[in-house]
Amino acid sequence: MSYLDNILFAILLIVGFGFFAASVKKIIRNINLGVDVDRKDNPKARWKNMALIALGQSKMVRRPVAGILHIFVYVGFIIINIELLEIIIDGLFGTHRVFAPYLGVVYDVLIASFEILAILVIFAVTVFWIRRNVIRLKRFINSDLNGFPKSDANYILYFETVLMILFLLMNASDLHLQNVPGGYSHFHKAGSYPISQFIAPIFNGTSNELVGLLFEVFWWLHIVGILVFMNYLYFSKHLHILLAFPNTYFANLKPEGQFDNLESVTKEVKLMMDPNADPFAAAPVDENAAPAKFGASDVQDLNWVQLLNAYTCTECGRCTSSCPANQTGKKLSPRKIMMDTRDRLTEVGKNIDANKGVFVPDNKSLLNDYITPEELWACTSCNACVEECPVNISPLSIIMDMRRYLVMEQSAAPMPLNAMMTNIENNGAPWQYSQQDRLNWKNEN
């Protein structure tokens, strides 16, 4: 009979991790739809970024309240997962608190710290819920989040609360049975329970058999909950708990104001400016090459780091709340740029899945169907969104690539910008002044 439990548990683990692996594979495939960009240079600086920003949460604490509460949840979740290792071993081999005899006092300390973290997580998550649903901070009620994103944020909070409560109830029922006079079944004395000792009295007066059964229920629900939550990541902004690490590693290391120089353009400009170039020479023909597109109109034109950014975005809205265009009521929201990119990428991924691994054009694109030119033209390229992002996402790089498409492929810049560009072309200045007058200021009073 007891083997049935172990087998059931093993199946559960295989299914849970199997689905998870399939999701991860899909995410990696989708990210690889992006154009290649080299982000492997300077590994030292990259590891440092990851250690400070993802592991060390250095950018989270720039907003101290959310930052510190986030650290509770983050540390709580990571550390409590050490407990998961014990749960998995217990589940597979039918043991109970398998580490306890080997760790002695250390085990007491571990369990006690898990409990304290669990209560801190519940506290933090409650404050988060209040900020979203009662105080209604502006960035959390923004229209970008209407629909699933708003529910998603709350589902995560509920999930975390339930998991932590189950963890504490599991410990409380265990503790109750540990203290049964004369001992009960396999519940030997192990661990220290600073929080659940206050919960344990609710089991007083309940039969040992029933408490034992409740323990089993809490234990199973807790592990099943974790596996379900893990598989929910794929559909959720909560994916950031994994992707924040690669995302900070591969983030841009160059100065924020340095925009990349398009190589394809460099080639053409050099050819144009080379007096020895034969204007009538046919370009070397590569039959297989798709005509190069300048800038980006869809997710496949973006680079893989930009797509990784989209999957990493946790929709916290710090970017949008610091965006000067957004603060002055313009349509641009850097968060929406990231969410749109992710939504479109998911859609493209589904299209590929439905068509046996090839993308079949669906007459839609990131530009226009998701992001409008009005949003793109409102950007001042000030980098506030990039600076603000706790995980180094750059909405600006996507905005700039899409502007490039609008201007170089569609000649669709706003009229005054066309005039500015004509002036630069003709006079070498954005205004209509002659280059010959550049030094006139010298003699003016």
Which residues contact other proteins (rule: CB under 8 A)? 254-259, 261-262, 265-266, 268-270, 272-273, 294-295, 322, 324-325, 327-332, 374, 377-384, 386-387, 400, 403-408, 413-414, 416-417, 419-421, 424-425, 428-431, 433, 435-442, 444-445
Separation CA 313–CA 238 (nearest Å): 9
Long-range contact list for 217-224, CB < 8 A, 24+ apart? 218/166, 218/169, 218/170, 218/173, 219/87, 219/170, 221/166, 222/87, 222/163, 222/166, 222/167, 222/170, 223/9, 223/12, 223/84, 223/87, 223/88, 223/91, 224/12
User: In sequence order, which ranges of 104-207 are alpha helices (DSSP H)?
Assistant: 105-133, 138-141, 148-178
The torsion defined by the Cα of 317, 318, 324 and 328, in degrees rounded to 10, comes to: 50
Whose CA is closest to 397, among 337, 332, 346? 337
For other proteins, give the closer residue by CB, 231 or 392.
392
- Pick between residue 53 and residue 200 the one whose CB is nearest to other proteins: 53
Shorter beta-carbon distance to other proteins: residue 111 or 379 = 379
Least Cβ distance, residue 245 to other proteins (angstroms): 23
Phi/psi at 184 (nearest 5 deg)? -135, 120
Q: Report which secondary-structure segment, H or E, holds 407.
A: none
CB of 386 to other proteins, least distance (A): 8
To other proteins, the closest distance from the beta carbon of 197 in angstroms equals: 45
Q: Which is nearer to other proteins, 288 or 436 (CB)?
A: 436
Rounded to a whole number of angstroms, the minimum distance from the CB of residue 407 to other proteins is 4
Q: By three-state DSSP, how is residue 184 classified?
A: strand
Residue whose CB is less far from other proteins, 30 or 321: 321
Smallest gap, in angstroms, from Cβ of residue 119 to other proteins? 33
- What is the spatial distance between Cα 186 and Cα 93, in angstroms, rounded to a whole number? 14
User: What's the CA gap between 370 and 66, in Å, rounded?
Assistant: 30
Nearer to other proteins, 126 or 426 (CB): 426
Report, in Å, the least distance between residue 261 CB and other proteins: 5
Provide, rounded to whole angstroms, the least separation between the CB of residue 412 and other proteins: 10
61 vs 400, beta carbon nearer other proteins: 400
| Half-sphere exposure of residue 173: CA atoms within 13 angstroms, side-chain side | 19
